Chains A and B, each alone.
Chain A
Amino acid sequence: MELATLEPGDELPPVTIEDLQGSDMKLGAALLQDPYPPHFDERTAEEMGYPRLLNQGPFNLSYLLQCALQPAASPTALESFDTRFHAMVFEGDTVTASATVDSVRKDNTDGKPEAVTFSIELTREDGTVAVDGTATVRVPDE
């Protein structure tokens, strides 16, 4: 699975993150200094109508980028991302990140691939798309 040989329609192996842990969400809230209670406070989360602790948006983005960066030698190959957050993800959920090649940008002079843009999607077990968008990964020079 090399970036330089990918073509539109190719799919990367999906990345599944099982049984999201509330302890990770609490650690994330502390690291981000995020005071939004549903990320760390079960009682307030319940009072606000959430079934369990709420996963942070950047966590969900991380699962997607981990999937899209699988063929890259270094994460610094990431050129850009554009993501839309549609549905919430909660403690105990299992989510799957997928990445499908949308387009390949090629050099105007020699036609060599410069960057691959993936359509990315994070799906909950019930099939709900929580986050989608695109991620573009640079192809390293030979």
Chain B
Amino acid sequence: MDPTELEGIELPSGEYTVERWKAFLWADATRNDDDTFRYDDDAIEAGENGQLVPHTLCQHIAFEATGGIESTMGRLADDWTSGAALGQLRATFHGPLEVGQTVHVEGHIANVERKEGSSGGLTIVTHAYDVRTPDDEPIYEMEADMILMEGA
């Protein structure tokens, strides 16, 4: 599929919940010493309701709630593992991301742009997501620019 035809399409909406073990192990894997991502007690001491989800899982949450990474990237190219990369990531947070909290995610492809890079042509596909609580309170908005290298 020509990726330029994707501009404006709505992604399947869905829900996702980060469980305690995933936030804990993600903090370990990213060498994050902040124990608010591991224990309720530490999060409460910091003024929160309970164990927090690292912000850096925001892309994972959006992808998983809207079909998963293979579906997201497979939409862009049949063999995306040969030449696709994250180019830019932007997010604005309105509320805490908490372990065990189910979030509702809607997304669409906001923009598709072809460019000539230093090593050939490339296409930048911007995915935009809106993440809310089940009560429709905003948690975060995120945009991810995925870069597809031509001929990869």
Interface size class of B (residues with CB under 8 A): 35 or more
Q: What residues of chain A lie closer than 8 Å to B54, measured between beta carbons?
A: 62, 75
Is A34's beta carbon under 8 Å from chain B?
Answer: yes
Q: Which of B25, B64, B96 contacts A27 (CB 8 A)?
A: B25
Report the bound CA distance from A128 to B55 in whole Å.
25
Pair B30/A63 contact, Cβ less than 8 Å:
yes
Instruction: Given A73-B47, A80-B93, answer yes or no on A35-B70 (Cβ-Cβ < 8 Å).
Output: yes
* B88 x A82 contact (CB < 8 A): yes
Within 8 A of B (CB), among A46-101: 57-59, 61-63, 65-66, 69, 73-76, 78-85
B68 near A: Cβ within 8 Å?
yes
A28 touching B89 in the complex, CB below 8 Å, given contacts A36-B81, A75-B52: no
B18 → chain A closest CB, angstroms: 10
The complex places the Cα of A37 from the Cα of B82 at a distance, in Å, of 10
Minimum C-beta distance from A67 to chain B (A):
11
Residue from the set B37, B57, B70, B90 with the largest chain A CB neighbour count within 10 Å: B90
Task: Given A32-B60, A33-B68, A74-B36, verify A82-B90 contact (CB < 8 Å).
Answer: yes
Known contacts A58-B56, A75-B54; decide if A31 and B29 are in contact (CB<8 Å): yes
A65: chain B residues within 8 A (beta carbon): 55-56
Identify whether the interface residues of B are mostly helix, strand, loop, or mixed.
mixed
A83-B59 contact in complex given A31-B25, A35-B70, A74-B48, C-beta closer than 8 Å:
no
New contact pairs (11) apart from A17-B31, A57-B89, A74-B52, CB-CB < 8 Å: A24-B31, A33-B69, A62-B54, A74-B36, A78-B55, A79-B92, A81-B55, A81-B89, A83-B88, A84-B88, A85-B88
Q: Which B residues are closer than 8 A to A by beta carbons?
A: 22, 25-26, 28-34, 36-37, 43, 46-48, 52, 54-57, 59-60, 64, 68-70, 81, 85-93, 96
A residues apposed to B, CB below 8 Å: 17, 24-25, 27-28, 31-37, 57-59, 61-63, 65-66, 69, 73-76, 78-85, 133
